Structure 1
Amino acid sequence: MINNDVMRSIRYMLDLSDNKIVEITQLVDPEFPIDRADVPAYLKKEEEPGFIPCSDRVLAHFLDGLVIHYRGKDESLPQRPVEDRITNNVVLKKLRVAFQLKDVDMHQIFEDAGFPVSKPELSALFRQPGHKNYRPCGDQMLRNFLKGLTLRFRGNS
């Protein structure tokens, strides 16, 4: 899925302002260069004028910032390095951690979106890429997860 689509979905789901997106993105590294003026361009669709592609680095900082925003920062542990490459599986993992979702919650979110996922399918998404049972998360699956998560946060409105 395109990084801009992920950021746009999360912004809508959580009703975040541009300033809040910048604030969350900089929770990981206050020196991270994200300009508030770029945020609206990240949230535009590809065909819209002024669209700027959201880099993996920006999305990684934003997702890690969401984890810190919702769970807090554990000062006793060293800071994890920010991913260089963001895949749909990484987005799922970060959102799962940020919102403290258990397997039963994940199944319910997919179910609410009309996209039921079996237990083995779900666990395969969270395996390491080299594992024999690893399964890459497709765009449709991530879109349905974001849709179900939005329903959880915003209701059916």
Structure 2
Amino acid sequence: MNNNDRLLRLRYAVDIKDQDLIKAFELGGMTMTREDVKAMLTKEKETQPDENNVYLKPINNQVIDSFLNGFITLKRGPQKNKPEIELAPKSKEIKHINNVLLKKLKIALFLTSDDMLTIFAEAGVYPSKAELGAILRKEGHRNFKPCGDKYMRNFLKGLGICYREGDNR
């Protein structure tokens, strides 16, 4: 699963409109146009048989991280005690983007660990509380566990079920 897939599935799951996507990118420190957003969410028509999900404009980890930072600000509002997000690029490479995505969605959507377990259960996946805690830990912690694409896909699927069937947290 690539970052374009993650953004597309997240957009569907919580029903993010184009204007909100653009605003989240702006709040995260990136300028995007409607055409840029459409290109990020549109698959190429002519792809090789061995290539799956090739998009017109691929997204790297820093772009999705900037979007998630802006999404948090969009959903929760700016922090009162802290200045705006620094626009300087991070020198640290993001290795486990699925872990970052889960953590930031938890923050943006005001989710508790129990809410997240319920969302996983909606998709038919039942991680333990300890396993979820390991996924949400900081990379480098001795109990850190990388989140695989299967968990990410199922979380976004469960999120869509919860949000689209009237739960609307």
CA distance in 1, matches of 2:14, 2:122: 18
| 1:130 shift after superposition | 1.1
The answer to whether residue 33 in structure 2 is matched with residue 35 in structure 1 is yes
Q: Which blocks of at least 5 consecutive residues in structure 2 are unaligned? A: 47-54
Partner of 1:18: 18
Per-residue CA deviation, residues 97-141 of structure 1 (Å, 9 max, x unaligned), is 000111110110001110011011100001121111110000000
Picking from 78, 95, 112, the partner of 1:102 is 112
CA distance in 2, matches of 1:64, 1:33: 14
CA distance in 2, matches of 1:20, 1:48: 26
Q: Secondary structure at the match of 1:137?
A: coil
CA distance in 1, matches of 2:148, 2:132: 12
Partner of 1:68: 73
Partner of 1:3: 3
Q: Write the mapping of 1:71-82 to structure 2, written as runs, cut at 5 A.
A: 71-81=76-86
Partner of 1:57: 62
The answer to whether residue 45 in structure 2 is matched with residue 48 in structure 1 is yes
Q: Write the mapping of 1:70-149 to structure 2, written as runs, cut at 5 A.
A: 70-81=75-86, 85=94, 87-149=97-159
Structure 2 contact 18–37 (Cα < 8 Å) conserved: yes
Alignment length (residue pairs): 153
- TM-score when normalising by structure 2: 0.81
CA distance in 2, matches of 1:105, 1:114: 14
CA distance in 1, matches of 2:141, 2:22: 35
| 1:80 shift after superposition | 4.8
Q: Which blocks of at least 5 consecutive residues in structure 1 are unaligned? A: none
| 1:36 shift after superposition | 1.8
CA distance in 2, matches of 1:20, 1:110: 25
Change (3 A) 1:4 1:118: same
Question: Structure 1 stretch 91-100 or stretch 60-69: which is displaced more?
Answer: 60-69
